Structure 1
Amino acid sequence: MEQNLTYLLGSGGSEDMLVSYTSPTPNSSAAYEYAFDYSELHIICHPESVPAFAPTLFPVLYSLLFVTGLMGNALVVWILTVCMKIKTMTDVYLLNLTVSDLLLVFSLPFLVQYSIMSQWIFGSALCKIISSIYFIGFYSNVFFITIMSIDRYLAIVHSLHVQGIRTTALGVITSLAVWAVAILASMTDLIFFKEVNDNNQIKCLRHYPDGNYAWKTFSNFEVNILGWLIPVGVLIFCYHSILKYLQKCHTKSKYKAIKLVFIVVIVFFLSWTPVNIVLFLDSLRNMSIINDCQTGQRLDLAMELTEALSLVHCCLNPVIYAFVGEKFKKHLREAFKKSACFLSNCKDYRAFSGHSLDRHSSLHTKSSQLSSVGTVL
């Protein structure tokens, strides 16, 4: 059975200038099936073998990411909404970041099916919906990480000036604006993604009118600018300012906060930079600046690999932004204690109920108020 691997950030097919590469049965010669028309450039592009790991790696990887991403982010939503309640602007942003992670996670089962069956079986409507959900999740994820970085910068470096301003209501309004921008940024994908019959196989691909690949290049540059260049610039400014501020502090949480700053920036950079580099190179190929056949083949495989790497980020966000926080970990421990007592019919269940949790929370609140660094980071 043929194994077809496609990708969303740069989905391939006969209607798209990107690759849709195929791995036939073990007894036949594996080959790339290119949608990029090199004949217009007077180039003969011979097929190459697909790496043996490709047909198995991506379905397994996407399945693992789905399970871990769903469990981790669902746990964060539960703790935030049931145990902690939403009380601060940071909580609002963290909840919205988790929802954006879940949007990316919910698209993964469709990628698994697409990888295994080599074609789209869910209909044209779901083709548009799932592709749009994926891109809305992508943009909102990056935007909320950026907003949280700005929020941390203001709360730590300019804490005196923003007292009373960082309210839950303002967090909700800002979050609604972020979702609106993410939806607008994803409109081209909602418009152009549709079911396409490609060599008697039904696929979910971008279909551009009259073969106008300018829209494809526009989409790539949109991801590069909105999804990487601007966020990276904001992150570097915010966390550089935070580090300069922390160097002047003498709190016990100073070095832990500095470590967390480096983790946030490095993980973001490693997760999203490779796929953005490949998208930029793909734009150069669309504009015929890159017209080398072998380079084009490598770009197609690189797109698949780097997109899978970027999706790992939605599984790491709960660890980076939630589980490392002392307040969140305290509520998580209390929640597990109550669950364990409930399941084992613990006689001292009341000891772990709301009264105990409130007492611990109030103690933590008083101690955390001693340091804005500890509260925000």
Structure 2
Amino acid sequence: MSLENFLSQLWCHISFILAISGNSYVLYATVMRRAIRLDKLSIWIIQNLAVFDLINTILILTPVMISLYADSQWVLGATLCKISYTYKYFGFTANVVLINALSVNKAVCCVAPLRSLGSSKVQKCLVTVMTAVLAAIIPAYASLKSFALDEFVVLFSRSQCMCSSVQIIETGNFHKIVYYVLAATLNGLPCLTLLGINTFLVTYAAKKTKRAVKKTNIVIVVLITLSFLLSILPYFFYSMKYGNIHNDNDKLLRFVTFVTFTSLWSNPVIYLVTNESFRTFTAESARKISRTQDTTVQHIAI
């Protein structure tokens, strides 16, 4: 095994463990104990983020790990290769939409502080449904390319350890224009929107918000956004520059691809560092587990 594959495997295993454990714990803490103190709609969005990150970990990262064990070869069959290729766009866009929703909601809370902190079922359903609909647009186009058009074929990229499309016939400008428009409007524009909204939130917190709790809540949203952008933008810029990103011998492509896995587990770490109620809940849970283990050991000794 090469050093590159060993380091890639190590990074994937760390990301997988942190993503599964961290996001599962966030769901448990927010659904069962309401351990993160934010408005209810923000909590709902955070729960959606955790669910999508768990799904992304299983459907995106797991095949990558299997491929690395197979010496960077795809062993799951042609059909799963196409499914994996189309889903990765869904998972990425869903995160973009949800983090935008979280930022917009926090901006509205700042501008209208007397707004009800509750959230209706309609609002919650709207967030989830709109996320799924918008996230499905690029995968639908990718599916059309991979299943219906003769100009493209889906192959495994050793650099990415993922499946990607390869253009085999010149398609003209139409498909190129569609690709860039979809990428810009569903990925690039939301990322720019995130930067704008979070600039506003930071300015608002610095000038108008005096309560420490509100400032902390704004910090959480800003850090979630920055973490996501720092993990995703290198891959986005690479794909916009080179277009079709199937490549078997590109170390830069592997690097920007594997950096994206940070977004799968960074949110739980941010909640733990910035949210006092979540940190307190975690500490209390750890003490309970420790006491339970001590009691068990004592019973066994007796």
How high is the TM-score relative to the length of structure 2? 0.76
**1:110 correspondence with 2:69:** no
Secondary structure class of the residue paired with 2:250: helix
Are the equivalent residues in 2 in contact too, given 1:96–1:175 (CA < 8 A)?
yes
Higher share of residues assigned helix: 2
Are the equivalent residues in 2 in contact too, given 1:143–1:178 (CA < 8 A)?
yes
More moved, 217-226 vs 144-153: 217-226
**1:315 correspondence with 2:274:** no
Unaligned runs of 5+ in 2: 148-152, 157-161, 297-302
1:64 shift after superposition: 1.8
Are the equivalent residues in 1 in contact too, given 2:42–2:105 (CA < 8 A)?
yes
Measure, in 1, the Cα distance between the counterparts of 2:191 and 2:154.
36
1:254 shift after superposition: 6.3
Are the equivalent residues in 1 in contact too, given 2:271–2:278 (CA < 8 A)?
no
Task: Give the 3 Å change call, closer, same or farther, for CA 136–322 of structure 1 in structure 2.
Answer: farther
Task: Give the 3 Å change call, closer, same or farther, for CA 301–322 of structure 1 in structure 2.
Answer: same
Are the equivalent residues in 2 in contact too, given 1:90–1:151 (CA < 8 A)?
yes
Aligned AA (2:256): T
Aligned AA (1:145): I
Secondary structure class of the residue paired with 1:83: coil
Q: How does 1:55-70 map to 2 (within 5 A)?
A: 55-70=5-20
Task: Give the 3 Å change call, closer, same or farther, for CA 259–96 of structure 1 in structure 2.
Answer: closer
1:77 to 27, 48, 54: 27
How high is the TM-score relative to the length of structure 1? 0.63
Are the equivalent residues in 2 in contact too, given 1:114–1:120 (CA < 8 A)?
yes
Q: How does 1:249-288 map to 2 (within 5 A)?
A: 249-253=209-213, 256=216, 259-260=219-220, 263-283=223-243
1:169 shift after superposition: 3.8
Number of the residue aligned with 2:254: 304
Number of the residue aligned with 2:43: 91
Are the equivalent residues in 2 in contact too, given 1:62–1:112 (CA < 8 A)?
yes
Aligned AA (1:173): L
Are the equivalent residues in 2 in contact too, given 1:220–1:279 (CA < 8 A)?
no
Secondary structure class of the residue paired with 1:84: coil
Greater length-normalized contact order (CA 8 Å, ≥ 6 residues apart)? 2
Task: Give the 3 Å change call, closer, same or farther, for CA 273–204 of structure 1 in structure 2.
Answer: closer
Secondary structure class of the residue paired with 1:163: coil
Measure, in 1, the Cα distance between the counterparts of 2:146 and 2:7.
25
Are the equivalent residues in 1 in contact too, given 2:49–2:95 (CA < 8 A)?
yes
Number of the residue aligned with 1:186: 139
Aligned-pair identity (%): 19
1:258 shift after superposition: 6.2
Q: Cα deviation per residue 1:150-199 (whole Å; 9 max; x = unaligned)?
A: 11111122223x3267435412322122112112221233344578689x
Task: Give the 3 Å change call, closer, same or farther, for CA 299–170 of structure 1 in structure 2.
Answer: farther
- Which protein has the larger Cα radius of gyration, Structure 1 or Structure 2? 1
Secondary structure class of the residue paired with 2:93: helix
Unaligned runs of 5+ in 1: 4-51, 287-295, 347-377
